[in-house]
Chain A
Amino acid sequence: MIVAERKPIDEIIGFVQDCKKILLVGCNECVTVCYAGGKKEVGILSSALKMAFSKEGKNLDVKEATLERQCDPEYVQQLSEYYDQYDAIVSMACGVGVQELAMRYLNKQVFPALNTNFMGASQGQGIWEERCQGCGECVLGRTGGICPIARCAKSLLNGPCGGSMNGKCEISKEVDCAWQLIIDRLTGLKQMHMLEEIFPVKDWSPAGHGGPRRMVREDLKS
Chain B
Amino acid sequence: MKSGSTLERMLESGRFAVCAEAGPPKGSSPKVIQKKGEILKSCSDAVNVTDNQTAIVRASSISGCVLLKELGVEPVLQMVVRDRNRIGLQSDILGAVALGVRNVLCLSGDHQRFGNHPTAKGVYDIDSMQLIQMVKAMRDDHKFLNGEEVSGDIPLFIGAAANPFADPFEFRVTRLAKKVNAGADFIQTQGIFDTPKFVEWMKMVRDRGLHEKTHILAGLIPMKSVGMARYMRNNVPGLSVPKELVDRMADAKDPKEEGVKICLETIEQLKDVEGVHGVHIMAIAWEDIVPRIVEEAGLMPRPVV
Contact = CB atoms under 8 A, between A and B. Distances in A.
Interface stretch (A57-65, A77-85, A139-147, A164-172): A164-172
A195 B237 contact: no
Given A198-B129, A201-B86, A166 B167 contact: yes
Given A154-B82, A160-B175, A162-B238, A171 B127 contact: no
Interface stretch (B118-126, B199-207, B256-264): B118-126
Nearest to A156: B127
B269 interface: no
B167 A153 contact: no
Interface string A146-163: 000000011111111111
Contacts of A183: 168, 171
Chain A contact residues: over half helix, strand or loop, or mixed? loop
Contacts of B238: 161-165, 170
Interface string A170-209: 1100000101100110000000100110111110100000
Contacts of A153: 111, 113, 122
A201 B237 contact: no
B166 A163 contact: yes
Contacts of B110: 163, 170
A196 B175 contact: no
Given A170-B238, A198-B181, A162 B111 contact: no
Interface residues of B, number: 36
Nearest to B164: A162
Interface range on chain A: under 10, 10 to 19, 20 to 34, or 35 or more?
Answer: 20 to 34
Contact of B167 (A154, A164, A199, A200): A164
Interface string B180-195: 0110000000100000
Contact of A154 (B111, B175, B177): B111
Contacts of A202: 126
Contact of B163 (A162, A179, A184): A162
B3 interface: no
Nearest to A157: B127
11 contacts: A158-B127, A158-B178, A159-B175, A160-B175, A162-B237, A162-B238, A163-B238, A164-B167, A170-B237, A198-B133, A201-B133
Given A198-B178, A198-B182, 15 more contacts: A153-B122, A156-B124, A161-B108, A162-B161, A162-B166, A162-B190, A165-B167, A170-B110, A170-B111, A183-B168, A195-B174, A198-B133, A199-B130, A200-B130, A201-B133
Q: Report the 6 A-B pairs with minimum CB-CB distance, sorted nearest first.
A: A162-B163, A170-B237, A158-B129, A163-B237, A162-B238, A161-B108
